[in-house]
Amino acid sequence: MRLRNIALFTACILLSSQSTDADSPQTVTPEAKPPAIPATPFADGERVCFLGDSITAGGYVQTLIADYYLTRFPERTVHFFNAGRSGDTASGSLSRLKEDVIDKRPTSVVIMFGMNDVSRGSYTANPTDAQKVRQQQALGRYKAKMEEVVARLRDEANNPKLYFMTPSPFDQTVVLDRDNNQPGCNDGLGRCAAIVRQLALENNAPVIDLHGPMTALNLQQQKLDPTWTIVGPDRVHPGSPGRLMMAWLFLKAQGVPATISRTTIDAAAGKVAESVNAEVESVERIEEGVKFMSREQALPFPINASPMELFDLLPIGDDLAQQILSVTGLSEGTYELRIDGAAVGQYQAADLASGLNLAFNKATPQYKQARRVAELNSQRRNAEATACSLLNTRRWMQSYYKVDVDDPKAVQAHYDHFEDKKQYSAVMARRYMEEWPKYSEFRKRAAELQQAAEASREPVAHTFELVRISG
């Protein structure tokens, strides 16, 4: 499996750098090598805004990134802010930049636009000359407005660190039972990615490439299964596997540590042979095994089960989640690992000597603690995303429909005028009427959950026992 991971990841890199015919929607978009400007990890005290469209607004990718920081660096406090807006563009973000980003006093801003900027509707199997013109105009507008966003952040937000992300792909190659394809759109997003790389270079800022590796993985897997996609049935919004891949690419670009802890016990000698990011003491030989105390300095990266299929395709565990326990000097046989008296697994002496990765063992108290942290962070995401959605609905009704959003009768009349109450704008108007009075409560709740997640992540000491049960 490891050889397959390495081969596939190499294929992703090679595919993402291949050239393509601009008129062919079935090839990989050209991806020039990104500038060699490192994306540094977030430091203690950072305030990080994620600015983008609906792919950002859901908050899922930045929540995975926040999960990593909460559990890997319990001594750091890093606050993440959702500045995404459904349907938005680089141009559209300018009207909300002050309230959503600048007023948050960010130390870092992560920028990802493109999916709505590219003029998806102008991409067809056989585009007309007029559609080709619109495609080019969209790219020119995207470049100009991205430059304007960056200039304002430099001037008005006290020159924060910038992290540029290339757009995630539009999956134009997956075979679906729905008529929602726009051939060539992903190639257009590849051109947006080239603009992003140039903009990052001009601003001496790092670029995190999502478009190239995600497109390459799609094509690789679709050779085996034409219905496979890293994105989703709408071809636009990544589901759980896609979000995990995006978070992995971001964290990998930052060069964050893979190690949660690394402990080696010499059972024969009754001593600690190695201890990395863990305080290990009280090692003692016991009948048919060994016992010791350990306080690890970090918790496992708490990834849900739904995207775990990616672990067979990409080296995510190798890069982000290494909680290694090795025990040498044991007699041959099968041993039960108990942590705080509870069994968490049974292993052969040879496997224990080689080293176990406990990072995804859901029975360990460390993993259970990390999942509690992640659940609190997920609740924080829900509260924050709800508040952001309500605020963006309010702005949209004001700017597009010219509704007096502070007049309940005017909002009700706006909702009533929709014949189809399932239409998106009608649904959002009804939601606004029901939940806007609780807007401040959602914001307060998000802050409280942030504090609760931080308070619950402190690692604690555990008693480890290995007891021989057969052999």
Mean pLDDT of 217-222: 96
pLDDT at residue 103 in the model: 98
In the predicted model, is pLDDT for residue 376 greater than 80?
Answer: yes
Query: Given a cut of 80, is residue 242 above it in pLDDT?
Result: yes
How many CA atoms within 13 Å lie on the side-chain side of 98? 2
Q: Tell me, yes or no, whether 162 and 16 share the same domain.
A: yes
The pLDDT of residue 305 is 62
Domain shared by 336 and 383, yes or no: no
SS3 content of the chain, % helix, strand, coil (to 5): 45, 20, 35
Distance in angstroms (rounded) separating the CA atoms of residues 402 and 384: 26
Using one digit for the tens of pLDDT, what is the confidence trace for 24-66? 344 444 444 544 689 999 999 999 999 999 999 999 999 999 9
d(CA 66, CA 64): 5
User: Does residue 198 share a domain with residue 144?
Assistant: yes
pLDDT recorded at residue 37: 87
Integer Cα distance of 50 and 111 in angstroms: 6
Task: Give φ, ψ of 218 to 5 degrees.
Answer: -55, -50
What is the layout of strands, in order, in the sheet containing 342-348?
Answer: 278-286, 289-296, 462-470, 334-339, 342-348
The domain in which residue 196 lies consists of 2-254
Domain count, the chain: 3
**324/319 Cα distance (integer angstroms):** 13
- Specify the pLDDT at position 365: 98
Pick the last residue of a domain from 235, 254, 273.
254
Do 294 and 347 share a structural domain?
Answer: yes
Which one of 229, 254, 279 terminates a domain? 254
Q: Do residues 326 and 226 share a domain? A: no
Shared domain check, 375 and 303: no
According to DSSP, residue 32 is labeled P
Q: What is the pLDDT of residue 389?
A: 96
Amino acid of residue 310: L
Task: Give, in degrees to the nearest 5, the angle at Cα 260 between 254 and 261.
Answer: 140
Per-residue pLDDT of 17-32, as tens digits, reads: 443 333 334 444 444 4
| Same domain, residue pair 108 and 196 | yes
Considering the domain architecture, whether residues 265 and 380 belong to the same structural domain is answered as no
Q: Read off φ and ψ for residue 419, nearest 5 degrees.
A: -70, -40
Q: Give the whole-angstrom CA distance, residue 225 versus residue 91.
A: 38
Q: Region 218-235: what's the mean pLDDT?
A: 96
Strands (E), 349-447: 356-357
Residue appearing with tokens 């025990």:
327
Could you tell me which of 114, 132, 107 has the C-alpha nearest to residue 122? 132
% residues pLDDT > 70 (the chain)? 92
- pLDDT, tens digit (0-9, with 9 covering 90-100), for 77-95: 999 999 999 999 999 999 9
Looking at the predicted structure, is the pLDDT value of residue 4 above 70? no
Nearest residue to 97 (alpha-carbon basis) of 166, 163, 157, 160: 157
DSSP string covering 381-409: HHHHHHHHHHHHHHHHHHHTS---TT-HH
Q: Are residues 20 and 99 in the same domain?
A: yes
Cα angle 92-96-101, degrees, rounded to a multiple of 5: 120
Torsional sign, CA 210, 211, 215, 218: positive
d(Cα 165, Cα 195) in Å, to the nearest integer?
A: 11
∠ CA(430), CA(433), CA(436), 5° rounding? 125
Residues 139 and 238 in one domain: yes
φ, ψ at 303 (rounded to 5°): -95, 130
We report the CATH number of the domain holding residue 334 as: 2.60.40
Structure confidence at residue 25 (pLDDT): 40
Q: What is the CATH number of the domain that holds 6?
A: 3.40.50.1110
Quick check: 110 and 165 in contact, CB under 8 A?
A: yes
Using the predicted structure, report yes or no on whether residue 245 has a pLDDT greater than 80.
Answer: yes
| Residue 314 and residue 376 in one domain | no
pLDDT for res 15 = 45
Last residue of a domain, one of 221, 238, 254: 254
The model's pTM:
0.92
Percent of the chain with pLDDT over 90: 89
pLDDT confidence of residue 7? 52
Answer yes or no: do 397 and 340 share one domain.
no
User: Residues 135-192: pLDDT tens digits?
Assistant: 999 999 999 999 999 999 999 999 999 999 999 999 999 999 999 999 999 999 999 9
The yes-or-no verdict on residue 287 having pLDDT over 90 is no
